[in-house]
Structure 1
Amino acid sequence: MREIIETIMAGEGSAAPDLSALGRVPVPPTYRGVVVRADETGMFEGLATADKDPRKSLHVQEVPTPELAPGEALVAVMASAINYNTVWTSIFEPVPTFAFLRRYGKLSPLTARHDLPYQVIGSDAAGVVLRVGAGVSKWKPGDEVVAHCLSVELEDADGHDDTMLDPQQRIWGFETNFGGLAELAVVKANQLMPKPRHLTWEEAACPGLVNSTAYRQLVSHHGAAMKQGDVVLIWGASGGLGGYATQLALNGGATPVCVVSSPEKAQLCRQMGADLVIDRAAEGFTFWRDAHNQDAGEWRRFGELIRSLTGGRDPDIVFEHPGRETFGASIYVARRGGTIVTCASTSGFQHEFDNRYLWMNLKRIIGSHFANYREAWEANRLISSGRIHPTLSRVYPLEQTGQATLDVHRNRHQGKVGVRCLAPAEGLGVRDPELRARHEEKINLFRGE
Structure 2
Amino acid sequence: MQKILDAIQAGESAAVGSLPVPEHYRGITVHADEVEMFDGLAAKDKDPRRSLHLDEVATPELGPGEALVAVMASAINYNTVWTSIFEPVSTFKFLERYGKVSPLAKRHDLPYHVVGSDLAGVVLRTGPGVHNWKPGDEVVAHCLSVELEGPDGHDDTMMDSEQRIWGFETNFGGLAELALVKSNQLMPKPAHLTWEEAASPGLVNSTAYRQLVSRNGAAMKQGDVVLIWGASGGLGSYATQFALNGGAIPVCVVSSQEKADIARKMGAELVIDRSAEGYRFWKDEHTQDPREWQRFGAKIRELTGGEDPDIVFEHPGRETFGASVYVARRGGTIVTCASTSGFLHQYDNRYLWMNLKRVIGSHFANYRESWEANRLIDKGLVHPTLSKTYPLAETGQAALDVHRNAHSGKVGVLCLAPEEGLGVRDQAKRERHLSAINRFRGV
| Among candidates 224, 232, 252, match of residue 238 of structure 1 | 232
Work out whether 1:216 is the aligned partner of 2:210: yes
| Among candidates 255, 262, 265, match of residue 249 of structure 2 | 255
SS of residue in 1 equivalent to 2:282: coil
Map of 1:390-429 to 2, 5 A cutoff? 390-429=384-423
| Among candidates 97, 101, 111, match of residue 117 of structure 1 | 111
Work out whether 1:165 is the aligned partner of 2:124: no
Work out whether 1:194 is the aligned partner of 2:191: no
Work out whether 1:344 is the aligned partner of 2:338: yes
Work out whether 1:384 is the aligned partner of 2:378: yes
Cα deviation 1:252-274 (Å, max 9, x = unaligned): 10000000010000000000000
Measured in 1, the distance between the counterparts of 2:58 and 2:340 equals 33
| Among candidates 322, 330, 334, match of residue 328 of structure 1 | 322
Q: 1:15 matched to which residue of 2?
A: none
Measured in 1, the distance between the counterparts of 2:308 and 2:98 equals 44
Stretches of structure 2 that go unaligned for 5 or more consecutive residues are: none
Measured in 2, the distance between the counterparts of 1:353 and 1:53 equals 31
Work out whether 1:269 is the aligned partner of 2:263: yes
Q: 2:199 matched to which residue of 1?
A: 205
Cα deviation 1:332-374 (Å, max 9, x = unaligned): 1000000000011111111000101100100000000000000
Map of 1:60-99 to 2, 5 A cutoff? 60-99=54-93
Q: 2:120 matched to which residue of 1?
A: 126
Measured in 2, the distance between the counterparts of 1:26 and 1:124 equals 24
Map of 1:141-180 to 2, 5 A cutoff? 141-180=135-174
Q: 2:4 matched to which residue of 1?
A: 4
For normalisation by structure 2, the TM-score amounts to 1.00
Q: 1:14 matched to which residue of 2?
A: none
Runs (4 or more) in structure 1 with deviation over 3 Å come to none
- What is the letter of the counterpart of residue 94 of structure 1? P
SS of residue in 1 equivalent to 2:283: coil
CA drift at 1:114? 0.2
Query: Aligned residues: percent identity?
Result: 77
Q: 1:286 matched to which residue of 2?
A: 280
Measured in 2, the distance between the counterparts of 1:293 and 1:5 equals 55
Q: 1:439 matched to which residue of 2?
A: 433
CA drift at 1:19? 2.0
Cα deviation 1:227-284 (Å, max 9, x = unaligned): 0000000000000110000001001100000000100000000000000000011011
Cα deviation 1:25-64 (Å, max 9, x = unaligned): 0000000000000000000001111111111100001000
SS of residue in 2 equivalent to 1:411: coil
Measured in 1, the distance between the counterparts of 2:201 and 2:293 equals 32
Measured in 1, the distance between the counterparts of 2:420 and 2:338 equals 31
- What is the letter of the counterpart of residue 222 of structure 1? N
SS of residue in 2 equivalent to 1:241: helix
RMSD of aligned Cα (Å): 0.5
Aligned length: 443
Q: 2:359 matched to which residue of 1?
A: 365
Cα deviation 1:363-386 (Å, max 9, x = unaligned): 000000000000000000000000
- What is the letter of the counterpart of residue 16 of structure 2? L
Measured in 1, the distance between the counterparts of 2:260 and 2:389 equals 22
Measured in 2, the distance between the counterparts of 1:172 and 1:94 equals 17
For normalisation by structure 1, the TM-score amounts to 0.98
Measured in 2, the distance between the counterparts of 1:308 and 1:406 equals 36
Measured in 2, the distance between the counterparts of 1:66 and 1:323 equals 36
- What is the letter of the counterpart of residue 345 of structure 1? S
SS of residue in 2 equivalent to 1:289: strand
- What is the letter of the counterpart of residue 10 of structure 1? A
Measured in 1, the distance between the counterparts of 2:289 and 2:61 equals 55
Measured in 1, the distance between the counterparts of 2:13 and 2:37 equals 44
- What is the letter of the counterpart of residue 309 of structure 1? L
CA drift at 1:188? 0.1
Measured in 2, the distance between the counterparts of 1:415 and 1:193 equals 22
Measured in 2, the distance between the counterparts of 1:258 and 1:19 equals 41
Stretches of structure 1 that go unaligned for 5 or more consecutive residues are: 12-17
CA drift at 1:21? 1.2
Work out whether 1:315 is the aligned partner of 2:313: no
CA drift at 1:20? 1.5
SS of residue in 2 equivalent to 1:318: strand
